[in-house]
Structure 1
């Protein structure tokens, strides 16, 4: 284990011992991937099935981006809040049923503050209802080779969020970065302002880890604390996914350290336990 990884492990042990955090769940899943080649640099429990929490919204956003690319969703258009969307628990933007939000603002609300109400409204707009939209999510996951993923809703909220793996989320992140480069910039937005209220990005590593410019956080009690992140330094880009961390701080510490592993490791490493 590298010195960077030992630092992460020590930090995690301290966070697990602190009171008031999510109940410990073993083990945390992690993967470090070269975004250019798709090769795995580091992994641990990367194929363990886990609830996606709000990482599911990466697929919700991908389908919205692809609809814009296809011309079936107009960037200058609007999304109307539905009854199903209005019923969603926080995090939410707080639109009342029947109100509309511009498409670009809707996408930012999902990418930046993980707005559950807006995510469901987008799904309803694109597919007619959330059930039909989830079928599209799962079909697209299969097309991308996310063989261990089955989404249960557009938000990742429990119950019924479905299951995925850190490896599959890294595959999804890589596709978003490479195929949707013009939309990817949404993930680095530091904050949004809606009705004179400014709300910061849930990804607290933006501006703190060199080159980090996305992607998405996630949390539910069942899932623990998740983060799919990517950073670019020079000509190289690295993707890190951590799932099931015991706290947001522990998750962020591990992601930051794994990002350094991704950029400093001179060779590809085998999964732990296979050395």
Structure 2
């Protein structure tokens, strides 16, 4: 048995600042090679949605107050129940005195009335109503405190390990925090898991109780491809925005926080998105199920077996920086029969100078049965006499 190293050079491609494999969109906690882009934001992250590659970041793992960007998780839990059928857009929730009295941005629900879930969602997403979040929290969990615990549990489930929620609105609390990376993870999960409800984030106005309010996301009013998500602001946190945009089939997610004005909140994320779309592109290496190589088989009914990748392998790379990108196949040959389809038989190693090494398992694409006793003897003699080719 010996180790096979097959190198595939992609010199015609461009050097990536980082990559993830397959369809995962959660930013990698291990990502270290992040291109530093100067920004006025105290915290920032820019992520490619399809691959999860972090294109740029600044203090992206630093704890921060999310303000009304908290409402992304409030809506997530509601969307989840809508999708599994335990909640309907036409269901109604009762408005408590607590919800009615809550300060800050409001939907202007009236105490002791009932409001449709669809209206409450628009009140949360478009109008950023703190009162609406409490109505939903109490309707789904009995109390805002219980709902906040569910929010934190869901954050852990999504991989948001540096997030803790104490309320459904984002009103100030010293133990209510997240990170730019975690908000990007949440935004990606919203887009990926709830395409049927994501349209709420692109709506620019909503009228409730004869009061029309505009969506606070400034990039929705500019021709930059943005279709969501949520702003936030408190004195402690500054001005923040979690936004997503699509151009030429590529979706990026940006999170900024700690800005000093609404003007900066409009300008910085647009500038960051422009830079990301201009500098980076997504390039596929292998499609799901594509054969990477054929490996020799030891004592099998077939002489060779295809080695495939089960998930798509893509990289996000800078367009303007050329260098050598190498993909190395590591496997042991010959592979002893019997071989089950889907069994791991090696790995692809994707590497480039100065970048984290990525490994992807390769599996047998077809079954290969073991030869009978006479066939095994004959094959062994041929291999010892003639080598791998048997000639």
Both proteins in one fold, TM over 0.5: yes
2:173 corresponds to which of 159, 172, 175: 159
2:185 corresponds to which of 171, 187, 192: 171
Report if the CA contact (8 A) 1:149-1:164 is conserved: yes
Which runs of 5 or more structure 2 residues have no equivalent in the other structure? 1-36, 281-316, 320-353, 356-391
Secondary structure of the residue aligned to 1:158 is coil
Q: Does 1:264 align with 2:282?
A: no
Q: Does 1:109 align with 2:111?
A: no
For residue 209 of structure 1, report the CA deviation from its aligned partner. Answer: 4.2
Q: Give the Cα separation in 1 of the matches to 2:78 and 2:141.
A: 11
> 1:178-236 deviations in whole A, cap 9, x for unaligned?
11111111000100011222111011110314210100000010111010000111211
Q: How does 1:39-54 map to 2 (within 5 A)?
A: 39-54=53-68
The aligned counterpart of 1:19 is none
The aligned counterpart of 2:12 is none
Q: Give the Cα separation in 2 of the matches to 1:79 and 1:228.
A: 28
Q: Give the Cα separation in 2 of the matches to 1:150 and 1:209.
A: 35
Report if the CA contact (8 A) 1:28-1:243 is conserved: yes
**Runs of 4+, deviation exceeding 2 Å:** 266-269
The aligned counterpart of 1:30 is 44
Report if the CA contact (8 A) 2:44-2:59 is conserved: yes
Q: Give the Cα separation in 2 of the matches to 1:208 and 1:215.
A: 14
Higher helix share: 1
Higher strand share: 2
Q: Does 1:250 align with 2:243?
A: no
Secondary structure of the residue aligned to 2:162 is coil
Q: How does 1:38-187 map to 2 (within 5 A)?
A: 38-160=52-174, 162-187=176-201
Q: Give the Cα separation in 2 of the matches to 1:74 and 1:161.
A: 32
Q: How does 1:207-226 map to 2 (within 5 A)?
A: 207-226=221-240
Between the two structures, name the one with larger relative contact order (CA 8 Å, sep ≥ 6). 1
Q: Does 1:203 align with 2:214?
A: no
1:160/1:120 CA distance change after superposition, 3 Å? farther
Q: Give the Cα separation in 2 of the matches to 1:133 and 1:194.
A: 25
Report if the CA contact (8 A) 1:52-1:161 is conserved: no
Q: Give the Cα separation in 1 of the matches to 2:187 and 2:318.
A: 20
TM-score of the two chains, using structure 1 as the length reference: 0.86
For residue 30 of structure 1, report the CA deviation from its aligned partner. Answer: 0.5
Report if the CA contact (8 A) 2:100-2:131 is conserved: yes
User: Relative to structure 2, which stretch is displaced further, 155-164 or 100-109?
Assistant: 155-164
TM-score of the two chains, using structure 2 as the length reference: 0.61
Report if the CA contact (8 A) 2:238-2:259 is conserved: yes
Q: Give the Cα separation in 1 of the matches to 2:174 and 2:87.
A: 27
Report if the CA contact (8 A) 1:75-1:103 is conserved: yes
For residue 90 of structure 1, report the CA deviation from its aligned partner. Answer: 2.1
For residue 268 of structure 1, report the CA deviation from its aligned partner. Answer: 5.5
User: Relative to structure 2, which stretch is displaced further, 157-166 or 237-246?
Assistant: 157-166
Tell which structure's C-alpha radius of gyration is larger: 2
> 1:8-45 deviations in whole A, cap 9, x for unaligned?
x5xx5xxxxxxxxxxxxxx6100000011111111111
User: Relative to structure 2, which stretch is displaced further, 157-166 or 216-225?
Assistant: 157-166
